[in-house]
């Protein structure tokens, strides 16, 4: 599995609008096991995105999907800063379905 944890700083007052855009665009992403958007309770202009994919190629391919491309275009003006994501290797946990076969 392939994971990413990203932090976005949103233009002041636009966090809910950005969250709505992201939620609309993430319904159909082949290979996506989990895509969680969370508000930062300590900063009204920050959101965290935690992603789990079956592999890095599925993540890269998702960036070409029409819905994702449209979301990127809509979201760009609402993002003040997007920190480099942290890449992780998910191994399991509550709610995470393993893609490994035995």
**Residue of higher predicted confidence among 97 and 5:** 5
Across the range 77-96, mean pLDDT stands at 92
The rounded percent of the chain whose pLDDT value lies above 70 is 95
pLDDT in tens, 6-44: 999 999 999 999 999 999 887 789 999 999 999 999 999
Instruction: Please answer whether residues 10 and 78 qualify as being in contact, where contact means their C-beta atoms are separated by less than 8 angstroms.
Output: yes
Whether the predicted pLDDT of 100 surpasses 70: no
Q: What is the pLDDT of residue 93?
A: 87
Ordered by where they begin, the domains of the chain are 2-88 (3.30.70.100)
């Amino acid at each position: 599995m392939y994971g990413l944890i990203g932090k976005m700083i949103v233009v002041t007052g636009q966090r809910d609008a950005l969250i709505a855009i992201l939620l609309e665009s993430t319904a159909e992403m082949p290979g996506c096991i989990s895509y969680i958007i969370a508000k930062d309770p300590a900063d009204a202009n920050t959101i965290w995105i935690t992603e789990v994919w079956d592999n890095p190629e599925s993540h890269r391919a998702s960036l070409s999907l029409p819905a994702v491309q449209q979301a990127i275009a809509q979201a760009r003006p609402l993002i003040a800063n997007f920190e480099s994501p942290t890449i992780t290797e998910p191994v399991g946990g509550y709610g995470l379905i393993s893609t490994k076969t035995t």
